[in-house]
């Protein structure tokens, strides 16, 4: 293990809880980058991620082997610190952070409308790489866990994942999805376990009117029949068979990001405006767990909301302040308190287990 001290000799800024501004500052961002603004607000209201930055805990984890030289995490942390400790009433300008994100992901250069969910994935991936506790990844070995019971196989697959990808970001955002394939001929069931950073939910349709988030989750985890050209090869029959496929959640992340697939596959041509209803508190997802005994109750704390059409839309954020528990709307550099009841066109929601 190489030493992982702070990359710069400066002493970390002194931070104490009582100097925290009650409200975080808004960001000075062009309205064409509203996707970025909306995601940054959601992340800055993510309690444990915010504190990770405020307490400079990220410094311990900064991985100097990272190809981006840890600048993205540094600028992200600085931005969060400024947002939460600035006493000025001016909106905070994230220009240095933007320089870094653009270096890391050049597709976010310029100020075109971007998909907020895509941006979130890129940003979390970038931050994760810079604070990955794994500095030397083990060589890939092919190990077969198929003889193990599912529960154990899932655990083995998870520790194999952690051997390569292990960071504060993973601790918070990554869960594990189980996909089971059952042969309709012999009944053999094979399972695959994959890590996930968010779940993209199809929007359930129920004629007209509204659907619930649970309907979307049920549609996502619904048993699917693979037949015809899609027939997989059954391991036991050694032949292509009609199979059923089903997703369950093997491991719930601390923070669950749900993305509602509002845009059609042929991207940006149409947007579904079905009203999706969801609770603000106690979203109980146990019925989607591989093992129903695990705790999977979430409370909503952040929403990145897309309004308008696929051609010219606008992102805003609704976040619950982790200090006060109050909800605020963030729209470009303005914010105001809001009474959140429902969102017509939300694109993603972040949930946390317990009280964040
Ligand atoms: Zn079979």
Give 261-278 pLDDT, tens digit per residue: 776 555 455 666 677 788
Q: Quick check: is 262 in a domain? A: yes
End-to-end CA distance of the chain: 32
CA distance linking residue 292 with residue 246, whole number of Å: 15
CATH number of the CATH domain containing 246: 3.90.70.10
Q: Quick check: is 42 in a domain? A: yes
Neighbours of 175 (CB within 10 A): 21
Q: What is the pLDDT of residue 141?
A: 75
- Inter-helix orientation angle 71-85/95-104, to 10°: 150
DSSP annotation of 108 reads G
Give one DSSP letter per residue of 236-289, joined into a string: TTTEE--EEEEEEEEE--SEEEEEE--B-TTSSS-B----EE--SS-EE-GGGB
CA distance linking residue 36 with residue 269, whole number of Å: 22
Q: Quick check: is 219 in a domain? A: yes
State the distance from the centre of ligand 1 to the C-alpha of 225, rounded, in angstroms.
Answer: 14
Residues 81, 74 contacting (CB under 8 angstroms):
no
User: In total, how many domains does the chain have?
Assistant: 1
Residues 130, 266 contacting (CB under 8 angstroms):
no
pLDDT band, residue 228 (cuts 50/70/90): very high
- Give which of 42, 45, 25 is closest to 34, Cα–Cα: 42
Query: In this structure, which residues have their CB less than 5 angstroms from ion ligand 1?
Result: 183, 185-186, 188, 234, 236-237
pLDDT, mean over the chain: 79
CA distance linking residue 268 with residue 193, whole number of Å: 31
Q: Dig out the tokens for 207 from the structure.
A: 């004629």
Largest CA distance in the chain: 69
Q: What is the pLDDT of residue 232?
A: 93
**Backbone angles phi and psi of 15, in degrees to 5:** -130, 130
Q: Residue 181: which H helix or E strand, with range?
A: strand 175-183
Q: What is the pLDDT of residue 314?
A: 74
Domain hosting 124: range is 20-351
Query: Three-state SS for 347?
Result: strand
**Which of the residues 34, 53, 234, 319 is marked catalytic?**
34
- Give which of 125, 178, 173, 123 is closest to 350, Cα–Cα: 173
State the distance from the centre of ligand 1 to the C-alpha of 190, rounded, in angstroms.
Answer: 10
Q: What is the pLDDT of residue 65?
A: 62
State the distance from the centre of ligand 1 to the C-alpha of 179, rounded, in angstroms.
Answer: 17
Q: Tell me the pTM.
A: 0.83
CA distance linking residue 97 with residue 207, whole number of Å: 45
**pLDDT tens-place string over residues 108-160:** 755 455 677 888 888 999 999 999 998 888 887 777 888 899 999 999 999 99
Rounded to an integer, the average pLDDT of 241-254 is 95
Active site residue 314: yes
DSSP annotation of 137 reads P
Q: What is the pLDDT of residue 231?
A: 94
Q: Quick check: is 263 in a domain? A: yes
pLDDT higher than 70, residue 248: yes
CA distance linking residue 113 with residue 313, whole number of Å: 8
Core vs surface per residue 301-316: b (16+ CB within 10 A) or e: bbbbbbeeeeeebbbb
Active site residue 34: yes
Q: What is the pLDDT of residue 312?
A: 64
Q: What is the pLDDT of residue 206?
A: 72
**pLDDT tens-place string over residues 166-200:** 999 999 999 999 999 999 999 999 999 999 999 98
Q: What is the pLDDT of residue 99?
A: 84
pLDDT band, residue 336 (cuts 50/70/90): low
**pLDDT tens-place string over residues 200-224:** 888 888 766 678 889 999 999 999 9
CA distance linking residue 124 with residue 169, whole number of Å: 7
Q: Quick check: is 158 in a domain? A: yes
CA distance linking residue 353 with residue 68, whole number of Å: 32
Q: What is the pLDDT of residue 7?
A: 36
**Which of the residues 53, 314, 346, 347 is marked catalytic?**
314
Q: Quick check: is 5 in a domain? A: no
Highest mean pLDDT among 90-94, 229-233, 337-341, 352-356: 229-233
Q: Quick check: is 9 in a domain? A: no
Q: Quick check: is 257 in a domain? A: yes
CA distance linking residue 116 with residue 121, whole number of Å: 9
pLDDT band, residue 15 (cuts 50/70/90): very low
């Amino acid at each position: 293990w190489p030493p992982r001290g702070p990359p710069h000799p400066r002493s970390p800024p002194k931070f104490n809880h009582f100097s925290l501004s009650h409200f975080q500052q808004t960001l000075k961002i062009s309205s064409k980058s509203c996707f970025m603004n909306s995601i940054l607000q959601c992340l800055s209201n993510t309690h444990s991620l915010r504190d990770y930055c405020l307490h400079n805990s990220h410094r311990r984890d900064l991985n100097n082997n990272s190809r981006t030289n840890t600048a993205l995490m540094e600028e992200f942390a600085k931005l969060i610190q400024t947002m939460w400790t600035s006493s000025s009433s001016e909106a905070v300008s994230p220009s240095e952070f933007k320089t870094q994100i653009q270096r890391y992901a050049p597709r976010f250069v310029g100020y075109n409308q971007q998909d907020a969910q895509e941006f979130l994935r890129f940003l979390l991936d970038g931050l994760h790489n810079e604070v990955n506790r794994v500095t030397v990844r083990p060589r890939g070995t092919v190990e077969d866990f198929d003889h193990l019971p599912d529960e154990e196989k899932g655990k083995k697959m998870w520790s194999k994942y952690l051997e390569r990808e292990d960071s504060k970001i993973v601790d918070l955002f990554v869960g594990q999805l189980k996909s089971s394939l059952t042969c309709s001929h012999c009944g053999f069931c094979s399972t695959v376990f994959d890590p996930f950073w968010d779940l993209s939910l199809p929007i359930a349709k129920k004629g007209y009117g509204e659907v619930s988030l649970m309907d979307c989750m049920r549609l996502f985890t619904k048993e699917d029949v693979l037949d015809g050209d899609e027939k997989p090869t059954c391991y036991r029959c050694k032949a292509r068979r009609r199979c059923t496929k089903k997703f369950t959640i093997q491991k719930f992340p601390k923070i669950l990001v749900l993305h509602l697939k509002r845009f059609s596959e042929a991207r940006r041509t149409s947007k579904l405006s079905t009203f999706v209803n969801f609770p603000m508190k106690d979203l109980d997802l146990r019925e989607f767990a591989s093992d129903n005994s695990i705790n999977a109750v979430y409370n909503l704390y952040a929403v990145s909301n897309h309004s308008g059409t696929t051609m010219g839309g606008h992102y805003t954020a609704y976040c619950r302040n982790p200090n006060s528990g109050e909800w605020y709307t963030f729209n470009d550099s303005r914010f105001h308190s809001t009474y959140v009841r429902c969102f017509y066109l939300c694109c993603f929601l972040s949930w946390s287990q317990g009280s964040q």
